[in-house]
Amino acid sequence: MIWRPLPLFALLLVAACGDAGNPAPQPVACSPGQVAFGTATTGELLTGVTEVLDAEVKGMTLKDDYVEVATRTAGVRAPAPVPAEEVYRQLAATYAAKDRPLVDYGTVHHPNTGGSSTFDGTGRFVSYEAISTVDVPFSYACGGTTSRGTVVSWLAAEQAGLLDCDEPEAAPSPGDPAAAIPGQVRELRCGAPAATPASCAGGRITVRGAKDHAVLGGVSPLHHVTAAGGGKLDQPLEQVAERRAEVLADGAVPREQVYRQFAAKVNTEGKAAVADLGAVWELRTDSGVTTTGPGDVAVARGINAVDATFTYECGGVTVRGTVTSWRPGGQTVIFSCSDDAAPRDGALVRQAKQLTCR
């Protein structure tokens, strides 16, 4: 694969609204308040691809006339009014301090179409562009209430790549978040991925590194229980994470077969079976929890996540990927911002405290 730098291209979204009549009053965000950020979810998003250049002779040039396949707007999503730009600036400052600057608030991403590449060989070439996405949950406490939302952004350093449809994709580096991008480009432009020939059959699947771990799926607002005998925590939980039972790979693989072998490996005696392929985890928002005394407490609900890596060997090539899933159930934990978490709930509660405690 050939990587080349791209100049940062940003288009600021300017929003304006008007009404010939009297506009309805808009809710005003409480200020000043206190912002707390949760754990970031990062990924890679393919944003543009060119058509295939069939270079039959040397010296042919591919212009970066990208077809846009995805876009993104840097901003803040919240169901209640919050000072969106201030929340965004605070998060951007933490990333800038780590030399990983985010794009400006309001930026709308579109592929940069100003470049070109000239080849000294023959092949079927495709150019593509991608961004590194960053989604961070937050809580905003002000005036005795707490609002929650998500900052949606991406790293300012864009990525561009070239691949030859006639050559198998090189094996990705372990843990490389961009590993799936070339496979997506091949599916869009190259037809059958070169990594696994269409004639390939009877390949070998090897599942490794299966791991059960807790992921924070939902958290409630802070409950102020005043009754001496306690009471039910009736404020609904809000979802802070998503999880799907799926197979991700850098090339074509028999996904159902991979998932069946994964399930056979992780569904051991004494453990609940993992969800079916394609299922999406849903948060049960009613905490169903009752306290026995007064206090300021909150509820966290975890996902029993299960992940593994795999390889698929067929036709002389190897495709690598990951399987993600979960088991039914999940921990429901009551916690106080002043209490230490139990050892088995430590990571889950620490994540919840970042969103709830102030």
Dump pLDDT digits (tens) for 148-170.
Answer: 999 999 999 878 888 888 777 66
Q: Which residue has the higher pLDDT, 158 or 44?
A: 44
Q: Which of 167, 194, 221 is the last residue of a domain?
A: 194
pLDDT at 332: 85
pLDDT at 87: 94
**128 in the same domain as 38:** yes
* CA–CA gap between residue 260 and residue 274 (Å, rounded): 10
**281 in the same domain as 351:** yes
**205 in the same domain as 347:** yes
φ/ψ of 311, rounded to 5, equals: -125, 150
Position 11 confidence tier, pLDDT thresholds 50, 70, 90: very low
Q: Which of 194, 211, 231 is the last residue of a domain?
A: 194
pLDDT at 188 over 90: no
Position 171 confidence tier, pLDDT thresholds 50, 70, 90: low
**117 in the same domain as 202:** no
Contact indicator for 255, 186 with CB cutoff of 8 Å: no
Residue 239 sits in which domain range?
196-358
**200 in the same domain as 182:** no
**204 in the same domain as 175:** no
Whole-model pTM? 0.49
Q: Residue 23 domain-assigned? A: no
**350 in the same domain as 302:** yes
pLDDT at 177: 63
**262 in the same domain as 121:** no
Q: Which of 194, 215, 235 is the last residue of a domain?
A: 194
Give the chain's domain count: 2
Q: Residue 209 domain-assigned? A: yes
**204 in the same domain as 164:** no
* Amino acid at the residue 168: P
**175 in the same domain as 46:** yes
Contact indicator for 354, 241 with CB cutoff of 8 Å: no
**76 in the same domain as 4:** yes
Per residue in 84-125, pLDDT (tens digit) is 999 999 999 999 888 889 999 999 998 887 778 888 778 888
**Quick one: which of 338, 342, 335, 343 has its CA closest to 233?**
335
| Both structure tokens of 67 | 């077809």
